[in-house]
Chain A
Amino acid sequence: MKPETEAELAEIVSRLKEPVRIVGGGTGGILEPDAELSTTGLSGITLYEPGALTLVAQAGTPVAQIEKQLAAEGQHLAFEPADYRELLSTTGEPTIGGVVAANVSGPRRIQSGACRDFLLGVRFVDGQGMVIKNGGRVMKNVTGYDLVKLMAGSWGTLGVLSEVSLKVLPKPETTATLSIQTNDLDLAIQAMSKALRSPFEVSGAAYDPEQGQVYLRIEGFSESVDYRSEKLRVELAEFGDISDNSNSEALWTEIRDANTFGGMEGDVWRISVKPSDAPQIVAKLAARKTLLDWGGGLIWALVPSGADIRARLDRFQGHATLVRANLDTFDSLGRFQSENAAISALTKGIRKKFDPRGIFNPGMMG
């Protein structure tokens, strides 16, 4: 099923008899259930106003098309939507609806915000075929409840997105990356915290334990980038030699996409924690390979297939999401960490209201 208008989408949904999986470009690798409802027929940028920093696009619009149009005006999606095709060994073309549904946010999350922070409005079709809009295309809007946030990261379990509006930002003129060599995770976290505590607007802070490198990104107008890089070198002198990395763009794309795990055997997890907790969490994980982003607040981990990371971490403060595994493991461990009884009851209650027949991506979120 591949509707080409919102009205057609609503019509199809109202007549659905069986559960469907909602698919944009198919790059998320979701395989269940068999029946597929594709949003790729709903494609195109509806409105773009560079002077108002807003863009409205149909849900099935390829992210690449949006990025190209923004680049022509020197703007971009500041939350850095990732491209997980290499990580997940999938093909297809990432769509903006998929990005929003999964609230996909890259390294700049710590400075600029997540996808949900840039989402200004949504239109979607609920489980009974009703077309619902919330939010709009302006940056400040507190009119009624914020269903926009609710839809971001709901993985299609509340409705099928038909259109999204986003805040966009000027693309930085220059990017610099400072590298610090250390094999000590504690020190790496301390260095990133110190950088993020500074007034020098670090827009990326990652640590690659394999390379033993801390990476710090500084963006903006070139004279400002030079100035802040110099200040940071002084601020972080205690952590040893600091070198410039000449390959900023490729480096941060790799961190964003976590493509270093692509093709490697095992499950991949994404764990959100308080940055200073990262060393003890990583120690408990006993992972084959890790990568830390968000100043230590995001841990990517590769573990043997089927390993139950949540059991290893035992009631930690944070959230562990299974990103890549075989179907059996997804079935037994669940993609998302189970929530406490109160939150679980609220979540189920909301899903029951928005999708009373349980036809959208069943089993995806609890």
Chain B
Amino acid sequence: MEMPQPNPEILMRKNTVLARLRQVLPSDAIIHDEAETRAYECDALTAYKCPPMLAVLPSNTQEVSDVLRICHQEGVPVVPRGAGTSLAGGALPTADCVILGVARMNEVLETDYDNRFIRVQTGRTNLSVTGAVEAEDFFYAPDPSSQLACAIAGNIAMNSGGAHCLKYGVTTNNLLGVTMVMMDGSVVEFGGAFLDAGGLDLLGLICGSEGQLGVVTEATLRILRKPEGARPVLMGFSDNEVAGQCVSDIIKSGILPVAIEFMDRLCIEACENFAKAGYPECESLLIVEVEGSEAEIDSQLSKIMEIAKRHDPVELRQSQSEDESARIWLGRKSAFGAMGQINDYMCLDGTIPVSSLPYVLRRIGELSEEYGLDVGNVFHAGDGNMHPLILFDANKPGDLEKCEAFGAEILKLCVDAGGCLTGEHGVGIEKRDLMTHQYSPQDLEAQMQVKDVFDPSWLLNPAKVFPLSVSESRREAQIAAE
């Protein structure tokens, strides 16, 4: 993946920038040694690495503001970083950038159960937001598989989803307000502990903008009361298409499960070895979860199982205990790690209309044979968000390139089927050059105009989201202006 050449002018001024940053940050919040900046050279898309010029770890909004003001004045690009779990290279540095990590900003600022919100610093991890309200039986709904590690800052930047968003929505549906520092250092409040402020929905625009419009330091999040209980049911089928039809029938029946997850044979076996969840041996597996009281769960599951029976399942089994439910979910949420034990893999994230599921799965199978690379499929079936995992050998010359070409074909297939390139991981650098397949030049221009307004100098997280050739004139205008 091509990245722009670092600006030698900026690299020459490293010591000047460092000296200015030292005036506003404690010394332990600045990383400048070449051996230590290496810790920030990549995120979870480990195929691409580039150590930044400097990294800073501010502790509050004021420090973030100081850092951005200085970088803005010095014309230095800034790459914001949450926990570095992006699968799309969203936090990949450029050699001439300052990495701004929010990891030290992890305080809970306010919890309000009567009004059902929590305000946190955005370095706080997703799961620890729920941890902060669990004693009152509340939770924060978006649940990306990386929730133990990933930060709210990254969740907001990528508009992260998770397994349970069929019912609860993704980050943008659970975000009430943010404190954001603009590239020039000014601090702006968007939204708050009330719903749907008038005026343009800038909060909705900021969520999912991949750290290119500003650095979000504090967030007001909607918290929900936990349901009385939840229970998954496992459904095994001998055919992917039949499983897809079953998903569609469940949704049409009027029942809205909180989650409908799909795995194919390769993933089922890998996850079973990893989590011992008791997954059946079959071609495709659905995990369908419903919530409520015991009686409500019984009644919903009986309706769902009635539908499943019409599709001749090879296995149909409700979880019998909380422990079993936990293992069923552990298996699903460990899918990426489990596949990683088989080989190197590339994880895709396209979304398709649920109705196209059988066709797209069949076509992925054909492509797998053409490319000679195995593919495992695991995805959020209720909302059509697919995660094909392409297995390859990073040590074998040419395999990564072949894998990337295969991945690109799958993503184009998703778009052509009426879907999109990315459902929850974001564009980052990974899908940047495919954007022209989904969007026309005018569509991309409209999006870039938004960045022009928020970050006219194009210094925030540059070289992401938009194809380099498309954003080139804007990025170069900035360099020329210096």
Chain A positions within 8 Å of B, measured between CB atoms, are: 49-54, 73-74, 103, 105, 109-110, 113-114, 116-117, 126, 130-134, 136-150, 152-154, 157-158, 169-171, 173, 193, 196-199, 221, 223-224, 227, 272-276, 294, 297-298, 317-319, 321, 335-337, 339-340, 342-343, 346-347, 349-350, 353-354, 365-366
Contacts and interface: CB of A to CB of B under 8 A. Distances in A.
B424 to A, nearest CB: 6
Contacts of A366: 199
Tell which of A74, A126, A144 has the most Cβ of chain B within 10 Å.
A144
A352 to B, nearest CB: 8
B172 A149 contact: yes
Nearest to A130: B442
Contacts of B85: none
Nearest to B204: A149
Interface residues of B, number: 92
B249 interface: yes
A350 B186 CA distance: 18
A152 B254 CA distance: 27
A112 to B, nearest CB: 9
B425 to A, nearest CB: 7
Nearest to A131: B442
Nearest to A194: B114
Given A143-B438, A294-B195, 20 more contacts: A52-B354, A54-B353, A103-B196, A134-B443, A134-B446, A139-B165, A142-B159, A142-B208, A142-B424, A143-B422, A143-B439, A144-B465, A147-B205, A153-B196, A170-B255, A171-B254, A199-B226, A224-B299, A343-B199, A343-B202
Nearest to B158: A142
B384 A297 contact: no
Contact of A197 (B116, B182, B446): B116
B115 A52 contact: no
B46 to A, nearest CB: 21
17 contacts: A117-B173, A138-B352, A145-B447, A146-B208, A149-B203, A150-B201, A152-B204, A197-B225, A221-B299, A223-B299, A272-B196, A317-B192, A339-B199, A343-B202, A347-B199, A350-B450, A350-B453
B355 interface: yes
B167 to A, nearest CB: 10
B197 A197 contact: no
A264 to B, nearest CB: 23
Given A52-B384, A139-B384, A274 B200 contact: no
B383 A138 contact: yes
A199 B138 CA distance: 9
B70 to A, nearest CB: 20
B440 to A, nearest CB: 8
Output the residue of A50, A147, A152, A298 with the most chain B CB within 10 A: A147
B394 interface: no
B282 interface: no
B278 interface: no
A73 B351 contact: no
Contacts of B352: 138
Nearest to B452: A353
A134 B166 CA distance: 21
B195 A297 contact: yes
Given A197-B225, A221-B299, A227-B293, A116 B201 contact: yes
A205 to B, nearest CB: 11
B194 A149 contact: no
B421 A337 contact: no
B198 interface: yes
Interface string B434-449: 0100111011111101
B454 interface: yes
Task: Give the 5 A-B CB pairs with smallest separation, nearest first.
Answer: A149-B204, A51-B248, A140-B423, A349-B453, A170-B254
B442 A146 contact: no
A193 B115 CA distance: 7
Contacts of B115: 193, 274-276
Contacts of A149: 172, 201, 203-205, 207
A366 B198 CA distance: 11
B270 to A, nearest CB: 24
Given A113-B169, A145-B447, A153-B200, A173 B254 contact: yes
Given A197-B116, A354-B446, A139 B351 contact: yes
Contacts of B442: 130-132
A52 B299 contact: no
Contacts of A54: 353
Given A52-B355, A117-B169, A153-B201, A140 B380 contact: yes
Given A130-B442, A136-B420, A146-B205, A197 B113 contact: yes
Contacts of B465: 144-145
Nearest to A144: B447
A213 B195 CA distance: 23
Given A140-B165, A272-B194, A294-B195, A154 B450 contact: no
Contacts of A343: 188, 190, 199, 202
B195 A298 contact: yes
Contacts of B326: none
B196 A105 contact: yes
A142 B194 contact: no
Contact of A227 (B159, B190, B295): B295
Contacts of B253: 170
Interface in B279-311: 292-293, 295-296, 299-300
Contacts of A131: 442
Nearest to A202: B225
Contacts of B227: 199
Contacts of B451: 145
B413 to A, nearest CB: 14
